[in-house]
Amino acid sequence: MQTVTVLGATGSIGCNTLDVINRHPEKYRVFAITGNSQLELLMQQAQKCAPRFVVIADDTHYKAACELASHYGVDAEILTGSHALEDVSSAPEVDAVMAAIVGAAGLLPTLAAVKAGKRVLLANKEALVMSGKLFIDAANQSGAKILPIDSEHNAIFQCLPHDYEYGNFTTAGIRKLLLTGSGGPFRERPLDSFSSITIDEASTHPNWSMGRKITIDSATMMNKGLEFIEACWLFGAGADDIDVVIHPQSIIHSMVQYIDGSVIAQMGNPDMRTPIAYGLAHPARIEAGVKPLDFSDIANFSFQTPCLKRYPNLKLAIDACKEGQCATTRMNAANEVSVAAFLDGKIQFCDIAKVNEATLNAMPYVSVSSIQQILEQDTLARVKADEIIRGKFQC
């Protein structure tokens, strides 16, 4: 029996995780679930999975949460605040932590799980983009096992040799990691109509049902940029070891190309319960409720090279990856601010990349070697991106 904390239980990944866990009550017990604003959903989840702790990140919700807990007959202890997130990630009773808080808010709770040597199911890619080497070093020090949940990285993990040594492409005979991406909803949209893209259009992914922020990131392909950086850290790859391939159908979730000409791909219907189940059960396989792939249903199976003019955020992320930690931390922060501004109707779709780029160009890079410095750079870039937006940034 594994005891699991689900950070970000009320989100898209969180709900899918509880769905898989609920299918295997003999294998998994929920220790804690966490949410931020969706109190009612969180209590309904607690009613069903009976955790020991329910954590609400925002401590102003404590009273309302207690009232709802009593309404739903939830016995769990209710905790609030960011320290509580770290406590339920690192508690000695916990075996595995699903890291599924969105954005920078997930960094410290995820790191707490890493430092406590847990089995960390990593969905929160922003944490790794923000803190790269510090995150991987912390895992090496504590013995934490990082299991990639992001579908592409989970696919690559499945396609690598079982004895793959971190960063050792030569011994493993690897030529390239091929990171696939759908290209989002605007893959074929005329570039001269990008200024009229609406929030609804950008919030509709062609294949995946996901949270709001990652869906916009997929539309700008910043998601693939973040994943490019994530892949470098997870697998010890350099920027030249990874190619991004557009695959509009999202059936192949990524591939590993070997020096003998072989390409090993992982395929399946676009349903996050597959990587979640693999992360939970690895090295075993468990039923996940996912419809089997039916090849007679697949009319098109195609690939193309991403056009960096269409996806300026992808170029920005690859350049930031080559530049180093300060650049990727700042880029992630700027992107969180610009995506939120787009979703608030304050800037246009094509301003997202412009705000990100202007933020990166505004300040010289510095060296960062502690989490404190990472958090300082994150704040600095948020303030700068906000200034750029408030200065009436024009598309």
Ligand X SMILES: NC(=O)C1=CN([C@@H]2O[C@H](COP(=O)(O)OP(=O)(O)OC[C@H]3O[C@@H](n4cnc5c(N)ncnc54)[C@H](OP(=O)(O)O)[C@@H]3O)[C@@H](O)[C@H]2O)C=CC1
- Give, in order, the Cα–Cα distances in Å from 16 to each of 8, 149, 156, 239, 336: 11, 12, 21, 31, 23
What amino acid occupies position 312? P
Q: How far is CA 76 from CA 1, 14, 55, 144, 183, in A?
A: 20, 18, 10, 27, 42
Asked whether the beta carbons of 255 and 242 are under 8 A apart, the reply is: no
CB of 217 to ligand DXP, least distance (A): 7
Among 86, 87, 126, 378, binds ligand X (CB under 6 A): 126
Q: Is 150 in the site for ligand DXP (CB under 6 A)?
A: yes
5 binds ligand X (CB under 6 A): no
Edge-to-edge, what's the strand order for the sheet holding 2-7? Answer: 77-80, 53-56, 28-35, 2-7, 96-99, 119-122, 145-148
Residue nearest to ligand X (CB): 11
Q: Which residue is nearest to Mn ion (CB)?
A: 150
Q: Which does 332 bind (CB under 5 to 8 A by kind): ligand X, ligand DXP, Mn ion, none?
A: none
The verdict on 218 binding ligand DXP (CB under 6 A) reads yes
Q: Which is nearer to ligand X, 11 or 248 (CB)?
A: 11
- 259 to 278, contacts with ligand DXP by CB under 6 A? 272
Which stretch, 34-42, 86-94, 112-120, 277-285, contacts ligand X (CB under 6 A)? 34-42
- C-alpha dihedral (23, 29, 32, 33), degrees to nearest 10: 0
Residue 194 in the binding site for ligand DXP (CB under 6 A): no
Residue list 13-32, contact with ligand X (CB under 6 A): 13-14
Neighbours of 66 (CB within 10 A): 15
SS3 for 230?
helix
Q: How far is the CB of 226 from ligand DXP (least distance, A)?
A: 9
Please identify which residue in the block is written with the tokens 């604003």: 37
Give the number of residues in contact with ligand DXP, rule: CB under 6 A. 12
Question: Is 63 part of any known ligand binding site?
Answer: no
Residue range at the interface with ligand DXP (CB under 6 A); choices 59-67, 128-136, 150-158, 234-242: 150-158
Q: Please give the order of strands across the beta sheet that includes 242-246.
A: 242-246, 174-181, 252-258, 263-267
The stretch near ligand X (CB under 6 A) out of 188-196, 204-212, 329-337, 362-370 is 204-212
Instruction: Give me the least distance between CB of 127 and ligand DXP, in Å please.
Output: 15
Give the interface segment with ligand DXP, choosing from 40-48, 70-78, 180-188, 279-287 (CB under 6 A): 180-188
Rounded CA-CA distance 327/324 in Å is: 6
Binders in 130-159 for Mn ion, by CB under 5 A:
150-152
What 46-49 contacts at long range (C-beta under 8 Å, 24+ apart), as own/partner pairs, is 46/72, 46/74, 46/76, 47/72, 47/73, 47/74, 48/18, 48/22, 49/18, 49/21, 49/22
List of E strands, 58-153: 77-80, 96-99, 119-122, 145-148
Q: Does the annotation flag 205 for ligand binding?
A: yes
- 208 is an interface residue for ligand DXP by CB under 6 A: yes
Output the known binding site for NADPH: 10-13, 124, 126, 211
Residues making contact with ligand X (CB under 6 A): 8-14, 35-38, 57, 100-102, 105, 123-126, 150-151, 208, 210-214, 272
Output the known binding site for Mn(2+): 150, 152, 227
Residues making contact with ligand DXP (CB under 6 A): 150-152, 181-182, 184, 208, 214, 218, 223-224, 272
